[in-house]
Amino acid sequence: MSDLTKLTLAAARDALKKKEITSSELTGAYLKEMADGGALNAYVTPTVEKAEEMAKASDAKLQKGEGGALEGIPLGIKDLFCTKDVRTTAGSHILEGFEPPYESTVTANLWRDGAVMLGKLNNDEFAMGSSNETSFYGPVVNPWRRKGSDARLVPGGSSGGSSAAVAARLCLGATATDTGGSIRQPAAFTGTVGLKPTYGRCSRWGIVAFASSLDQAGPIARDVRDAAILLGSMAGHDEKDTTSVDRPVPDYEAALGQGIKGLSVGIPKEYRVEGMPKEIDDLWTRGIEWLKAAGATVKEVSLPHTKYALPTYYIVAPAECSSNLARYDGVRYGLRVEGRDVTEMYEKTRAEGFGAEVRRRVLMGTYVLSAGYYDAYYLKAQKVRTLIARDFAEAFSEVDVLLTPTAPSAAFAIGAKSDDPLSMYLNDVFTVTVNLAGLPGISVPAGLSAEGLPLGLQLIGRTFDEETLLRAAYAIEQAAGFTAEPEAWWRA
């Protein structure tokens, strides 16, 4: 590992501004890591030339003492973000050969601020998955391994390429998206920081849609400060997305130093689920102690509808996805499998273009919306969603943030759950509530499992109060002192 790739984003940014390093050097170092890291399958489309050009352009600006907040910083981009003239796959066969003639707002914001694109990162097909095993481009491999084992583990999902690439230093930070936990769970599985902002904080324009009312972009980064810096560039109102909020973007990095003295932290009792591994429970207890030690007050709160969150999610998300994915029909872009008539063309294209999990969810969503079932499933789920949001609103009338584990386990082996959709869905048990209520959440690495795998703690905040969330996350990070790194077995 080169010294350059040891730098955090904040440190690299400062070094670039001081002209101690150049973006070309930094970018070059990452391109080398990417070339060496093929075994992780984190990138589906490296954009080497583009990276070199962008780095050069950044250097010219930095040389003149100019440049934006991310000038010269090399990033990886989840392949759910449309990037102009660069193949965008969403991890699906059905987008075969698709080169968007436009740039997503979030990535455009990053380039506006001077960031450098290293390439497109693997993800579960259309972000449907919790292990990055549903990608048409193959599973991403977690850089972390269990102590004394060379079993290949999942990096979490759906932003598995992003989490693996940040953990293995194949990029300085990455974009990701989170519909039910797809930023936070992979961050927890790879010892990285994953921040899902409030729904509406980042524009969804140009991000391949999975479930519109739940999808939200955010960063996966090496530490809390880096996540704060990245969010500052990604966030902002976009008139092309009327669900994006029109309010100023705060200086998130500045919030970190404010400490958490007097902060009120809630511990939702319903998150102590049956069968939760002891080491997760212990980690949670440690987290509580750390926050107390940093001056916060801690109290138990109740979110009574928690147990209904996953079933609610697995009605709402498939319903929306069944409609959102109707546009992949072989007419205007992507894969087409010819048929005798247009209907057969549709059916063959979509059968071949979608993988098993996407097919399953599209069918599930079609079913719950179909005549006679709408009220029993979709309408009911949206009502329960209101109750879940109310639970949070009530809790936040008493406390400022909530602390929970991010995931019910550490990373598991590739293939371990791929035959059982339900056990896979249970991975999102702690994260999905946040999406249903539109709240911001962050996962911070907080320790290692007995097997030596990273574990994360999740903080949940009030809508648009990412600053408090980041302050608390920073306190956990300081207390946890998580410095472990995976062994770079993939280079061998």
Partner 1 sequence: MTTMVSDFEASMRKREPRAEDLIQGQTGDWEVILGLEVHAQITSKAKLFSGSSTKFGAEQNSQVSFVDAAMPGMLPVINRFCVEQAIRTGLGLKAKINLRSVFDRKNYFYPDLPQGYQISQYKHPIVGEGEIVLDMKDDRTVIVGVERLHLEQDAGKSLHDQHPAMSFVDLNRSGVALMEIVSKPDMRSADEAKAYVNKLRTILRYLGTCDGNMEEGSLRADVNVSVRKVGAPLGTRCEIKNVNSIRFIGLAIEHEARRQIEILEEGGKIDQETRLFDPKTGETRSMRSKEEAHDYRYFPDPDLLPLEFTQAWVDEIASSLPELPDDKKARLISEYGLTHYDATVLIGEGARADYFEAVAKGRDAKLAANWVTGELFGALNREGHSIEETPVTSKQLGELIDLISDGTISGRIAKDVFDSMYKTGRDPAKIVEEEGLQQVTDFGEIEAAIDAVIAANPDKVEQTKVKPQLAGWFVGQVMKSTSGKANPRVVNEILARKLGLSSDD
Partner 2 sequence: MSVDQKTVRHIARLARIAVRDDELEALARELNGILDWVEQLGEVDATDVEPMTSAVAMAMKMREDVVTGTNLQREVTRNAPGAEDGFYVVPKVVE
Q: Which residues are catalytic?
A: 78, 158, 182
Binding to partner 1 (CB under 8 A) within 146-185 occurs at none
Angle at 40 between CA 143 and CA 134, to 5 degrees: 105
H helices present in 245-379, as ranges: 252-255, 278-293, 309-324, 342-353, 356-369
Work out whether 336 is an interface residue with partner 2 (CB under 8 A).
yes
Contact 324, 366 (CB under 8 A): no
Please name the residues in contact with 477: beta carbons below 8 A apart, sequence gap of 6 or more. Answer: 193, 223, 224, 444, 445
Work out whether 342 is an interface residue with partner 1 (CB under 8 A).
yes
Range in contact with partner 2 (rule: CB under 8 A) among 6-14, 125-133, 159-167, 355-363? 355-363
Residue with smaller CB distance to partner 2, 169 or 336: 336
Binding to partner 1 (CB under 8 A) within 55-114 occurs at 81-82, 88, 90, 95, 98, 100-102, 104
What single DSSP character describes residue 257? Answer: G
Work out whether 346 is an interface residue with partner 2 (CB under 8 A).
yes
Nearest to 436 by CA among 377, 401, 388: 388
Contact 227, 459 (CB under 8 A): no
Q: How far is the CB of 208 from partner 1 (least distance, A)?
A: 5
Work out whether 363 is an interface residue with partner 1 (CB under 8 A).
no
Other Cβ atoms closer than 10 A to 430:
30
Work out whether 305 is an interface residue with partner 2 (CB under 8 A).
yes
Q: At what angle do helices 23-36 and 48-63 cross, to 10 degrees?
A: 160
Binding to partner 2 (CB under 8 A) within 445-464 occurs at 463
Q: How far is the CB of 334 from partner 2 (least distance, A)?
A: 7
Work out whether 271 is an interface residue with partner 1 (CB under 8 A).
no
The binder of partner 1 chosen from 30, 252, 290, 378 (CB under 8 A): 378
Q: How far is the CB of 364 from partner 2 (least distance, A)?
A: 6
Work out whether 343 is an interface residue with partner 1 (CB under 8 A).
yes
Question: CB under 5 to 8 A by kind: which of partner 1, partner 2, none does 127 bind?
Answer: none
Angle at 260 between CA 14 and CA 8, to 5 degrees: 20
Q: Residue 440 burial (CB < 10 Å; 0-12/13-18/19+)?
A: buried
Nearest to 30 by CA among 74, 83, 80, 81: 74
Question: CB under 5 to 8 A by kind: which of partner 1, partner 2, none does 85 bind?
Answer: none
Work out whether 398 is an interface residue with partner 1 (CB under 8 A).
no
Binding to partner 1 (CB under 8 A) within 186-245 occurs at 204-209, 211-213, 239-243
**C-alpha separations of 172 from 25, 26, 166, 429 in Å:** 13, 9, 6, 29
Contact 188, 287 (CB under 8 A): no
Question: CB under 5 to 8 A by kind: which of partner 2, partner 1, none does 339 bind?
Answer: partner 2
Nearest to 9 by CA among 232, 172, 237: 172
Question: CB under 5 to 8 A by kind: which of partner 1, partner 2, none does 437 bind?
Answer: partner 2
How is residue 203 written in tokens?
A: 């524009």
Contact 300, 285 (CB under 8 A): no
Binding to partner 2 (CB under 8 A) within 307-326 occurs at 307-308, 311-312, 314-315, 322, 326
Residue with smaller CB distance to partner 1, 55 or 121: 121
Binding to partner 2 (CB under 8 A) within 378-397 occurs at 379-387, 389
Work out whether 377 is an interface residue with partner 2 (CB under 8 A).
yes
Work out whether 209 is an interface residue with partner 2 (CB under 8 A).
no
Q: Which residues bind partner 1 (CB under 8 A)?
A: 81-82, 88, 90, 95, 98, 100-102, 104, 204-209, 211-213, 239-243, 319-320, 322-323, 325-327, 329, 331-333, 342-343, 346, 366, 369-371, 374, 378
